Every structure is written in C-alpha cells, then in structure tokens.
C-alpha cells in the first residue's frame, strides 16, 4: 500500500484522531466538574448534618468506570488497582446510603 492508498482508506473509515482527542478531553472535563460539584454539595449537606453517601457513591462509581476502561484499553495495573478501590468505596457508600435512608 502506498501513502495515498493509506490516506484514502483512513478517510473512508471516518477515523478522525482530533475528534477522538476532543471527546477524550471533554470526558476529562466532565469528570472534573462532576467531582468538584459533588464535593461542594457533599460539604453543604455535611454542614447541615445530612449524610452525603449518595454523592460519594456517584463519584466513586464514575471513577471506577473511568479506571476500568483505562485498564481494559491499555492494561495498566495501577488503573486496575484504582478501579478496584473505587468499586469498594462505591459499594461501601451505597450500603451506608441505604442503611441511613
């Protein structure tokens, strides 16, 4: 295959590396905003004497999904370790939520 054939094949497949990078960065910013907003709401709820285990469960589940995906795609052991820890935290927070609810 020559250079022109490879470029044409890439165009035909619809693969756009820039689009993939933008999608990845948008997910990163979505994740950051999720964590920051949930933290603010959890602090407000805690100051009012309310439990915030539901927010902790949501944050840890989203972190679990993120790191599990990273592990599946790039097989990085640290991603698996963080995914397992986040899964345990989310299970703990979910159980605590239902006990207090």
Nearest to 68 by CA among 51, 87, 49: 87
pLDDT of residue 7: 67
**Distance (Å, rounded) from C-alpha 91 to C-alpha 61?**
9
61, 92 in Cβ contact below 8 A?
no
CB atoms within 10 A of CB 15: 10
**Distance (Å, rounded) from C-alpha 99 to C-alpha 101?**
6
pLDDT at 5 over 70: yes
Q: What is the largest CA-CA distance in the chain?
A: 68
Each residue of 17-69: pLDDT tens digit?
777 777 777 888 888 888 888 888 888 988 888 888 888 898 899 889 988 98
């Amino acid at each position: 295959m020559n250079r022109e054939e490879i470029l044409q094949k890439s165009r035909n497949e619809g693969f756009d590396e820039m689009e993939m990078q933008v999608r990845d960065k948008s997910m990163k910013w979505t994740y950051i905003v999720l964590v920051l907003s949930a933290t603010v709401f959890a602090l407000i709820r805690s100051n009012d004497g309310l439990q915030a285990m539901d927010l902790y469960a949501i944050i840890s589940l989203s972190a679990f999904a993120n790191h599990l995906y990273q592990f599946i795609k790039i097989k990085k052991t640290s991603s698996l370790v963080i995914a397992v820890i986040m899964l345990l935290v989310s299970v703990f927070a979910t159980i605590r939520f239902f006990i207090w609810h």
